[in-house]
Amino acid sequence: MSQPALPAWARTMREIFRAETISQFVLYGNIRDLVEHGREGGPVFLPLRRYLAEVLFEPFETVLFYDRGRGIRVARGADRFQKFLQGFDRFNGTRFSADSGASTDPSRSLELPGLLPRAPDQALELIDRFLGSVASAPRADEAAAGPARGAVGAAVVIDYANYIVPRGDSAYLSASSANLIKILHWSDDPGIAGANIATVLLSDSLLDLNASLVDGDTVAKIAVALPVQEEIESFVRALTAREPDFKALSEVDETVLAGKLVGLSRVDVKNLILRALRNREPLTLKYLSRVKKETIEKEAQDKLEFVESRRTLDDVAGHAEAKAWLRDDAKLLRKGAVSALPMGYLVTGRIGTGKTYLIECFAGECGVPFVALKNFRDKWVGATEGNLEKVFSILHALGQVVVFVDEADQFAGRRGGGDGDSGLSGRIYGMLAREMADTGNRGKILWIFATSRPDLLEVDLKRQGRLDVHIPLFPPQDAKGRKELFLAMARKLKVDVAETDVPDVASGRPISGNELEGLLVRAVRAFELQEGAAKRPLSEVLKETAAGFRPSAHTAQLELMDLLAVRECTDDLFLPPKYRDMNPADVEKRIAALQLGRE
C-alpha cells in the first residue's frame, strides 16, 4: 500500500534527515494550524504536534515534547523514558521516575507530574542526558539508513523555542546561554547526528530565535506555509461533509468557497465556516469577503489592510497616460499574462497630485486582492522583522495580490541602516529587497510604492527588476486640466458645480488637487454660513473665494518634487511636453540647486 503524500515542508524535512547530514530542524510560520494526513476512508486533519508524533516520527521509539509551560511530555516510548529516569535517579540520587507515569498511547502526549523539572536549564539537561543514552545505545540494525532503521532512536520537539533561546546579544542573555549551547550541541555533535536522533524547534517566527540557530549551517530552517487553494478545498470538503446545513446556507460550492478563502489557515477556515453554519447565517460572497478581511488583518496584526475600492480609473481626472498604462496592466493581471507584467511600480510626484487616489482607483479594476502595507515597525527587538515575515507569508498564500506601500520613503529602510536604530533600517531594506526581487513572484505579488521623495529610496530598491515602471504624476498643465480636476474634486465632495461655474484658479502656476479641494471646501463653507433670504449662489461664492486664493508658498520644495519625478520616470510618454524636452543634465543641475536651497 502506497504511503500518503506528505506536505512540502514534511517532505523536505524527511529528505534532509535521510541524508544523515543534518538532524536539527526549525519549523516556523503556520505551525499552529492543522495538517492533512491521508487515511483510508478520507483525509484527517491533525494539529502539527500530533502530526509530528503520529506520522512523521512514527519510526522513532521515543518522542518527547517540551515547552516552558507544560514541561516534558512523552508522545511515544514512555516505558523507555521511564527506564532512563530510573537509571538517572539511581546514579544522581533524584526521584524523577517516582512520580512519572507511563503511557503506550501515542495519540496523546503524556504530561509527567511531580518532581520532573519544568525550568529550561534543568529540563534541557535531563533531555540532553537522555539523548546521550540513546546515542550510546547499540543500533537495532547497523546496515539500515535514516528512519528505515526501525523503531529505534528518539525525536525531541521544543515548542515555543523563542522563549527558551530568544534573539538577542549573547552577552545580555546569560540566563539562556547554557540552553543555547545544549541545543546547538544536539545539532553539531556527530554522535547524535548519526544515532537516528532528530531535534525540532517550533517558533512562529524564525526571527524570534537566537541568531546562532538561525544562521547556523547545521540547522535546517523550514517554513510551514499557509495552505494553497487545492489544500483548502480538500479541507472544506471534509469539513462541510459533516454539516447537513451547508448546501442550504451556502450560495457557492466547495471549489468557489475554497478560492475565496485563500490566505487563511485551516483553523481560520474552520472558524469562519462553522461560525456561519452554526448561527444559520448564509455563506454569501459578501459574508466571506467581510470575515476573510477581518481574519487576515487580525492575523497580520493590523500590518495589512484590504482595500476594497468601488472606484475605477474612470474616476481619475487627468493623468491620461498613467491611467491607460495601469488599465492595460489590470487586463494582463486578470488574464494571467505573467511574463508581460512588471514586478512593481514606483508612483512619484509632488504632494497633492493624487498618487494614493490613482492607486485606489486602480484597485477597483484589478480583480485580485489588493492590500495596503501599513506601519510594520515595532519598538520591540526583532518584532519589526517578525511583522514583515508574517506579512510575506500571507502575501504568498493569497496567490495573486497587489501590495501598495504609501509614503514608501518612510518605510523601506536604508541599505547601511539608520543612525541609532541598531541596524533595523538595514534589515528592513534587506528583507524587502530580497522579496521584491524574487522573479518567482512575477504576476503573483505586484508591488506599488508611492512617494513624493523618491530620492530618499535606495537606488537598488527602485531599480528595474523590483519596481520596473516609474510613473510620475504632475499638476494640471493648462486651464482645461485645472477645470477637469476641479470638477473631479466637486464630485468627490458631492458638490454640484456646473462647468461654466468653475473659476480660473492660479492661472499660469501649477496647482494640485489637494489645493483645489481646499479651495472648494472654503467656498462651500462660506456658502453654507449665509443667512437670510438674500443668499448668493454658489457660483458667485466660488468666484470670490478663487479671487482670494493663494497657492502654496513652498514653491521650491514642490518644484523639487516635480523634477525628482521627472528624473525617476522610465517612459517619456508619462511626461508633459514641458518636461519631456528638458535636457537630463539641466534637470540634475536644477535639482542640485533646489536641494542646496539656491534659487
Q: What is the pLDDT of residues 433-450, one digit of tens each?
A: 888 888 888 888 899 999
Which residues does 518 contact at the CB level (< 8 Å), separation at least 6?
none
- Residue that is written with C-alpha cell 486533519 in the block: 45
Nearby residues of 454 by Cβ (< 8 Å), 6 or more positions away:
346, 348, 409, 462, 470, 564, 565, 567, 568
Residue 471 to residue 9: CA distance in whole angstroms? 40
Judge if pTM exceeds 0.85.
no
What is the CATH number assigned to the segment(s) 229-299? 1.10.8.60
Whether 257 and 289 have beta carbons less than 8 Å apart is answered as: no
* C-alpha cell at position 286: 459578501
What the block records as the C-alpha cell of 498 is 456646473
pLDDT number for residue 14: 93
pLDDT at 349: 92
Residue extents of the structural domains in the chain: 8-224, 229-299, 321-472, 476-599
User: Distance from first CA to last CA of the chain, Å, rounded?
Assistant: 82
Per DSSP, the chain holds a count of helices (H) and strands (E) of 22, 15
User: 381 to each of 178, 207, 210, 386, 387, how far by Cα in Å?
Assistant: 21, 10, 12, 10, 11
CA distance 576 to 322: 12
Q: Exposed (0-12), middle (13-18) or buried (19+): which is 53, by Cβ within 10 Å? A: buried
Q: Which residues of 559-568 are buried (b: 16+ CB within 10 A; e: fewer)?
A: bbbbbbbbbb
Q: What phi and psi, each to the nearest 5 degrees, are found at residue 99?
A: -110, 5
Q: How far apart are CA 269 and CA 267, in angstroms?
A: 5
Give tens-digit pLDDT for 84-135: 998 888 888 888 887 554 444 444 444 444 467 889 988 999 999 999 999 8
CA distance 12 to 5: 12
Query: 173: closest CA among 201, 213, 203, 116?
Result: 213
∠ Cα 260 266 269 (to 5°): 45
Give alpha helix (H) positions in 241-306.
246-249, 254-260, 266-278, 285-299
Residues 574, 471: contact at Cβ < 8 Å? yes
Q: Which CATH architecture has domain 8-224?
A: 3-Layer(aba) Sandwich (3.40)
Residue 224 to residue 47: CA distance in whole angstroms: 13
Q: Which residues are CB-contacts of 326 (< 8 A; sequence separation ≥ 6)?
A: 313, 358, 362, 365, 471
Q: What is the distance between the alpha carbons of residues 209 and 164, in angstroms, rounded to a whole number? A: 9
Number of neighbouring beta carbons within 10 Å of residue 293: 17
pLDDT of residue 533: 75
**CATH tag for 321-472 (out of 3.40.50.720, 3.40.50.300, 3.40.50.10300, 3.40.50.12160):** 3.40.50.300
Report how far residue 389's alpha carbon sits from residue 428's, in angstroms, rounded to the nearest whole number: 10
CA distance 582 to 42: 69
- Please tell me the predicted confidence (pLDDT) of residue 108: 46
| Buried-state track 528-544, b at ≥16 Cβ within 10 A, e below 16 | eeeeeeeeeebbebbbe
Distance CA 486, CA 521 (A): 12
Domain 8-224 and domain 321-472 have a common topology: yes
Q: Give Cα 263 distance to the centre of its chain.
A: 10
Alpha helices (H) in 300-382, listed in sequence order: 320-335, 355-366
Cα–Cα distance for residue pair 254/260, rounded to 1 Å: 10
Rounded to whole angstroms, the Cα distance separating 69 from 119 reads: 9
Residue 510's CB: how many other CB atoms inside 10 A? Answer: 20
Phi, psi of 168 (to 5 degrees): 150, 170
Residue 579 identity: Y
- Residue 195: burial class (beta carbons within 10 Å; 0-12, 13-18, 19+): buried
CA nearest to 512, candidates 545, 477, 480: 477
Q: Tell me the C-alpha distance between 493 and 499, whole Å.
A: 16
- Helix (H), strand (E) at residue 62: strand 62-67
d(CA 594, CA 599): 7
Strands 401-405 and 370-373: parallel
Query: Which DSSP letter does residue 530 get?
Result: -
Distances (CA, A) of 37 to 76, 220, 238, 438: 19, 23, 12, 31
Helices 555-568 & 584-595, crossing angle to 10 degrees?
140
Those residues of the chain that have pLDDT short of 50 are: 1, 101-114, 142-151, 599
Region for 597 from its dihedrals, namely left if φ exceeds 0, alpha if ψ lies in -120 to 50, beta otherwise: left
Q: Which residue pairs from 552-561 have beta carbons closer than 8 angstroms and sit at least 24 positions apart in sequence? A: 552/515, 556/594, 556/597, 556/599, 557/594, 558/350, 558/351, 558/510, 559/590, 559/594, 560/591, 560/594, 560/595, 561/348, 561/349, 561/350, 561/351, 561/452, 561/453
d(CA 460, CA 5): 41
